[in-house]
Structure 1
Amino acid sequence: MQLVVARIGRAHGIKGEVTVEVRTDEPELRLAPGAVLATEPAAAGPLTIETGRVHSGRLLLRFAGVGDRTAAEALRNTLLIAEVDPEELPEDEDEYYDHQLMDLDVVTEDGTAVGRITEISHLPSQDLFIVERPDGSEVMIPFVESIVTEIDLEEQRAVIAPPPGLIDDRAEIASAREAEREPGDGAEREPGDGQGPAESGPREAGDAS
């Protein structure tokens, strides 16, 4: 099975190094020196990683045969693709590869159907499930332990405990209720009410790895 593990960014320096947007939880395995990767577009590869290092928090790679800035810049936006055994599982039991999570049915803890996972978006702060609902609309579910409470691969489902407003209009109802309170009444912040995305817990989706 072929899975995307990184996207090449801009050239770094003059000796052929490039920045990469890592899309795997195990870059030390998938993006190690000596790794041979297919590419999209295919005409750009295959590419063999010659060296790798971290600079200012970003991974820099140099590929065999790419020796100057011009050649490196020509690879910009190329996707790097690794061959992965579909039976291979992550070492951490709370981590999953993207292909394990795709097409899972999403349900709430009371069994209400929400939709189906059609895409996994990897953001710097956390991963998101892009879930297609029965009416064709989409909803984004943060892949954090407080919201995604269970992944059942045997039943092919993800169980969620959505905070108000994540998948319905409960946030608007709650706001209306708060507006009806007497002046001076205290308001307790509800989960997800006016807060940013929760920090990602041990559950993380990996692109390939």
Structure 2
Amino acid sequence: MELVVARIGRAHGIKGEVSVELRTDEPELRLAPGSVLATEPGTAGPLTIESGRVHSGRLLLRFAGVTDRTGAEALRNILLLADVDPDELPDDPEEFYDHQLVGLDVVTTAGEPVGAVREVAHLPSQDLLIVVRPGGGEVMIPFVTEIVPEVDVRERRVVVAPPPGLLEDVPDGDGGTDADGQDGQESR
């Protein structure tokens, strides 16, 4: 199974280095020199990491065959994929791979169904569980311990302790009723 481990960012300098946005908690394992990473179909093809270093808090990589800034810029925004055994688990029991979370049922601490995890969104500040609601629509739940106190992959369940308003239905502006009971549509 292929997992996204990084996204290539801007070129750094003139010798072919690129910055990368990490999508793995194991960069020393997944992004080590000599690692061969797949890319999205139709992009650069497999890339071999020639070297890596940290500069000003950012990981910089150089790939075999990429020797100048022009070649590095051509790789911008390409996702790097590592081949991982689907049964492999992270070393930390509090960490999960995206494929382990997708499809899990989500319930509140009171046992009320919320929906099922459709995907995990990796944002700069934190990860979000995108949960499809049983009646339609979706809700984004911050994947932090305070809100998601329990993940049980074996039981295929995620327990959430949502703060007030997180799971409330938000009007979408298409129909519905407004404060005075009207249907929200204007007549002309």
Task: Provide the TM-score with structure 1 as the length reference.
Answer: 0.78
2: CA distance between counterparts of 1:164 and 1:27?
36
User: How far does residue 75 in structure 1 lie from its aligned partner after superposition?
Assistant: 0.8
1: CA distance between counterparts of 2:63 and 2:89?
28
Q: Is 1:62 the equivalent of 2:41? A: no
User: How far does residue 13 in structure 1 lie from its aligned partner after superposition?
Assistant: 0.6
What SS does the corresponding residue of 2:29 show, helix, strand or coil?
helix
In the alignment, which residue of structure 2 is the partner of 1:193?
none
1: CA distance between counterparts of 2:41 and 2:70?
18
Runs (4+) off by over 3 Å? none
Kindly indicate whether the alpha-carbon contact (under 8 Å) linking 2:43 and 2:78 is maintained by their aligned counterparts in 1.
no
Identity level (%): 75
What SS does the corresponding residue of 1:100 show, helix, strand or coil?
helix
The verdict on how the C-alpha distance between 1:102 and 1:143 changes in structure 2, with shifts beyond 3 A counting, is same
Q: Is 1:24 the equivalent of 2:24? A: yes
Report the AA paired with residue 121 of structure 2: S
Could you list the per-position Cα deviations for residues 34-69 of structure 1 after superposition, in whole angstroms to 9, with x for gaps in the alignment? Answer: 100001144412100011111121111000000000
In the alignment, which residue of structure 2 is the partner of 1:157?
157
Q: Is 1:34 the equivalent of 2:37? A: no
In the alignment, which residue of structure 1 is the partner of 2:53?
53
Kindly indicate whether the alpha-carbon contact (under 8 Å) linking 1:152 and 1:158 is maintained by their aligned counterparts in 2.
yes
Report the AA paired with residue 79 of structure 1: L
Q: Is 1:89 the equivalent of 2:121? A: no
The verdict on how the C-alpha distance between 1:76 and 1:137 changes in structure 2, with shifts beyond 3 A counting, is same
Could you list the per-position Cα deviations for residues 104-148 of structure 1 after superposition, in whole angstroms to 9, with x for gaps in the alignment? Answer: 110001111101111111122221101111232111111111111
User: How far does residue 21 in structure 1 lie from its aligned partner after superposition?
Assistant: 1.0
What SS does the corresponding residue of 2:149 show, helix, strand or coil?
strand
1: CA distance between counterparts of 2:118 and 2:152?
17
User: How far does residue 156 in structure 1 lie from its aligned partner after superposition?
Assistant: 0.5
> Which deviates the most, 41-50 or 74-83?
41-50
The verdict on how the C-alpha distance between 1:77 and 1:86 changes in structure 2, with shifts beyond 3 A counting, is same
What SS does the corresponding residue of 1:76 show, helix, strand or coil?
coil
Kindly indicate whether the alpha-carbon contact (under 8 Å) linking 1:103 and 1:116 is maintained by their aligned counterparts in 2.
yes
1: CA distance between counterparts of 2:136 and 2:27?
35
Kindly indicate whether the alpha-carbon contact (under 8 Å) linking 1:127 and 1:143 is maintained by their aligned counterparts in 2.
yes
Higher relative contact order (CA 8 A, sep 6+): 1
Task: Provide the TM-score with structure 2 as the length reference.
Answer: 0.86
The verdict on how the C-alpha distance between 1:24 and 1:153 changes in structure 2, with shifts beyond 3 A counting, is same
2: CA distance between counterparts of 1:43 and 1:77?
10
Report the count of equivalent residues. Answer: 169
What SS does the corresponding residue of 1:119 show, helix, strand or coil?
strand
Could you list the per-position Cα deviations for residues 161-201 of structure 1 after superposition, in whole angstroms to 9, with x for gaps in the alignment? Answer: 111011126xxxxxxxxxxxxxxxxxxxxxxxxxxxxxxxx
What SS does the corresponding residue of 2:100 show, helix, strand or coil?
helix
RMSD: 1.2
Structure 1 gap ranges (5+)? 170-209
1: CA distance between counterparts of 2:54 and 2:135?
44
2: CA distance between counterparts of 1:43 and 1:91?
31
What SS does the corresponding residue of 1:51 show, helix, strand or coil?
strand
